[in-house]
Amino acid sequence: MRAAQYCCAAIYPAREEAFVSEEGADPAAEVADRLWRAYAPYRRGRGTTGDLDAMLAILMLAAFAEEEGQAEDDFVKRWKRASVEAVVGFSPVTDLRGALREAARRPGFPLLWSADLDIDFGSGPDDAAWMTAFVAALGRSPGPGEVAAADVCELLLQRHAEEGALPGGEFYTPRGVADLLVDLAAPRPGDRIMDPACGAGSVLAAAARHLAEQGPVGDNSFEAYAVDRGNVRPAMLNLALHGVSVPQVEPADPAKLLRDRNLGRVDRVLSNPPFNQRIDGWEQRQFIAPPESSAAFAWLQLAWSQLKEGGIAAVVMPARAAWAGGAEALIRREMVARGAVLAVIALPAYLFAGTNVAVHIWVLGRGRRSRPVHRSDSVILVDARGVGRRFPERPRVLSSEDVGHIAERFRLWSETSEEVDEPGFSRSIAYAELIENAGNLDPRSYLGTESGPGGATDLSAVLADFERRNRETSELGAELAQIAGAQDQLAQDGVRRQNLPLKDVVSGETAVAGRPVRLLAGPSGSLIRAKDYVEADGVPVVMPKDITDIGFTVDGIRHISERHAERLDRFRLHRGDVVVARRGDLGRCAVVGEEQQGWVCGTGCFVISPPDTVDSRYLAAFLRSPEAREWLDTHSTGSLALRTISLDVLGTLPVALPDLDTQRSIGEAMVSFDAHERRLLDQLATTRDIRSRALNSFLPR
């Protein structure tokens, strides 16, 4: 199958103004942007669950008609009629459905058609309206050159992720991170490749792109499992568009995979798993059973268990897994002792849509054949937190140069005996040093800024980095002004909204995407007493002092044991929750991201878990607004020095709710302002640090 080379260029006869991305003209980005703009107005006020499936199916149909179809084929005739009628405003749904079923009967169609893959093109007028606009937009030219449908598919997945429209449970893996996972694992033609938590298939799609450069993609075996059942169909379509021959994606059952007697059957495991999701039913363990409340090491052990002798796994992990104590430290030491860990790479924050969590990539190997003889007792650590580029309202992007630089360090370490240490970036660490540091695998612990003669810090390198950050801050400040201008125009145009008490905002639903919808006060003091707190290896408990208007602070945050946290399960935090301080500076709140998933709401805080009709970032911005804070102050009790509010009072707070798209627009703008404030605070701290370092370097030694 040649879907990886499918192009849409010959299908579109007209030319449209070129779209220019940050890195220059990009025809695929132009097509994706045009398709998204055609679709976006129809997202409001309707269920959008099957929209992504339909989009990717339309792309696949267009590609297959262009590549394999003949003018006399019925499915080609129906596709062309759908395209023509969409341009003049007639619904293409009937012809799309018929064309897809006809095409599925043709040899070489990229998917085995079944009832499970019978794409629902919708029956309501809203479904027909967006598909009419989408197909009409697809009928215009992407500009000069050819555009691969696979590239358009990837960009549409990215837009869905940035707009929070992908199924829950698994994050969309951005292309730079996916490419890095693949470059580190380096799959070869003929390999069997697995992703036990494939999401919408972006990591395996990156593997398909990598293998396409060496031969037919269909010669390789891809094994994919989706944690969220809603991702099964998008993943299949995504992989088919990337040239994977008849891809099969199954709902994931990690515990069942571990119980499978046929362990050790794949050459490469590539994955970005939902590392805070629990895995129940551990009947077989590869190292040491991980804590039940944290599945990070469960996923690592699952990946390692699937590898055959000489196999390699590259897995995204939370940063905490590299340094956490307790049972997790024991697992790390056992993995190092068995030679299972080859590398740990620290990546920057803001790589993933909807969260600022910084992650690591762990590279694992199974057996002696996976580990170079000349590196038999060491691990390479890479601190790549400073790479990538950030754009306003968008995640940070790893460039191909960034990916190449990181992967080159690992290749030098694994394939040669050359020196791999690069000050401040990479270092080969002997097992003895790792064990001496209690199995700590956090690159930051081993790759601090080098000192010059006499212990003086290399001030010139620090200043160069400071100047770079100043330039980035200046650029972001200018773009932030544009964002503020757009929001001001929105306000001038007028925003329709309804005013509802907060308790009504969270009423009517009990759960959304596996998380509760609730308005809840934190546990009473009797449930978490002073003697219950443990050292920093436990589960963080959020108190009012740990909340700022630009997020959570972990300086001085208290912890309880994993077992204690399990007893307080109803108070655990979920991604998208808003945690509100009930005393002190009223209105102070923060939105829970991936990093805070599984933490516990402490005494002195409320948790708001909004329904999917309310954007968490907007709700937090509203609670911080002067109007909301004035209302809370007016209805509070206590002294002037320590205001407090009750849950009943908070429930009566009037909340101004515009439509969901407007909420998202405002929420995204506020997130940009918060990020800019954090950057300015970081620069202030850096300025003070430079002042101290400069003084030390100036003093005679």
Place 175 in a pLDDT band, splitting at 50, 70 and 90: very high
Check pLDDT > 70 for residue 657.
yes
Give the pLDDT of residue 165.
59
pLDDT at 18: 33
For residue 498, is pLDDT > 80? no
CA distance 628 to 495: 18
425: which DSSP letter?
T
CA-CA distance, 574 to 623, in Å (whole number)?
A: 19
> Is the predicted pLDDT of residue 282 greater than 60, yes or no?
no
Distance CA 135, CA 55 (A): 9
Instruction: State the average pLDDT over residues 574-583.
Output: 91
CATH class, 497-657 region: alpha beta
The pLDDT confidence band at residue 449, using thresholds 50, 70 and 90, is very low
The per-residue pLDDT for 437 is 82
Give the alpha-carbon dihedral of 615, 616, 620, 625, to 10 degrees.
0
The mean-pLDDT minimum among 83-92, 492-501, 650-659 falls in: 492-501
Per-residue confidence band for 353, with pLDDT thresholds at 50, 70 and 90: confident
Collect all residues with Cβ–Cβ distance below 8 Å to 569 and sequence separation of at least 6.
Answer: none
3-state secondary structure 41-63: HHCCCCCCCCHHHHHHHHHHHHH
The Cα 184–Cα 412 span in angstroms is 11
Mean pLDDT of 372-399: 83
In this prediction, residue 465 has a pLDDT band, given cuts at 50, 70 and 90, of: low
pLDDT at 338: 86
Q: For residue 80, report the phi and psi dihedrals to the nearest 5 degrees.
A: -65, -40
Mean pLDDT on 343-364: 88
Q: Mean pLDDT throughout 475-499?
A: 59
Which of 492-506, 531-545, 646-660 has the largest mean confidence? 646-660
Consecutive H or E run containing 622:
helix 616-624
Rg over alpha carbons for the chain, rounded to the nearest Å, is: 26
Pairing, β 20-21 against β 24-25 = antiparallel
Q: Averaged over 341-363, what is the pLDDT? A: 88
- Supply the pLDDT for residue 435: 82
pLDDT > 60? residue 617: yes
- pLDDT above 70: residue 276: no
Confidence band of 521 (pLDDT split at 50, 70, 90) = very high
Question: What does the mean pLDDT of the chain come to?
Answer: 80
| Residue 290 to residue 306: CA distance in whole angstroms | 17
Among 297, 232, 312, 223, smallest CA distance to 267 is for: 312
- Given a cut of 90, whether residue 600 has pLDDT beyond it is yes
29 phi/psi in degrees, rounded to 5: -65, -35
If you count them, how many residues does the chain have? Answer: 701
pLDDT of residue 473: 62
Beta bridge partners of 348: none
Q: Which has more confidence, 148 or 680?
A: 148
Of residues 218, 245, 307, 228, the one with CA closest to residue 270: 307
Once rounded to an integer, what is the mean pLDDT over residues 399-425? 90
Kindly indicate the confidence band of residue 665, based on its pLDDT and cuts at 50, 70 and 90. Answer: confident
Q: Which of 156, 175, 198 is CA-nearest to residue 55? A: 156
Strand locations in 525-652 (E): 533-534, 539-542, 547-548, 551-552, 558-560, 578-581, 589-591, 600-601, 605-609, 637-638, 643-644
Q: Using the 8-state DSSP alphabet, how is residue 589 labeled? A: E
Query: Among all chains, which residue has been given the structure tokens 């919408």?
Result: 200
Q: Give domain 169-440's CATH architecture.
A: 3-Layer(aba) Sandwich (3.40)
Q: Is the pLDDT of residue 576 over 60?
A: yes
**Amino acid found at 248:** Q
- Considering only 162-166, 411-415, 460-464, 595-599, which range has the smallest mean pLDDT? 460-464
Residue 382 pLDDT exceeds 70:
yes
Q: Is the pLDDT of residue 44 over 80?
A: no
Domain ranges of the chain: 1-161, 169-440, 460-493+659-701, 497-657
Question: Are 664 and 618 a contacting pair, CB within 8 Å?
Answer: yes
Distance (Å, whole) CA 54 – CA 122: 9
In three-state secondary structure terms, 372 is coil
Residue 361 above 80 pLDDT?
Answer: yes
**Separation of alpha carbons 670 and 651, rounded Å:** 24
Of the pLDDT bands very low, low, confident and very high (cuts 50, 70, 90), residue 407 is very high
Percent of the chain clearing pLDDT 90 (strictly above): 29
133 vs 595 pLDDT, higher one? 133
**463 pLDDT more than 70:** no
Token duo for residue 593: 């991201």
Rounded distance between C-alpha atoms, residue 382 and residue 443, angstroms: 6
Predicted TM-score (pTM) of this structure:
0.65
CB 236 within 8 A of CB 278: no
Mean pLDDT of 587-602: 89
Question: According to the model, what pLDDT value does residue 363 have?
Answer: 97
The residues that bridge with 515 in the sheet, in sequence order, are 512
* Average pLDDT, integer, range 408-417: 91
With a cut of 60, say whether residue 168 has pLDDT above it. Answer: no
Which range has the top average pLDDT, 121-135, 173-187, 582-596?
173-187
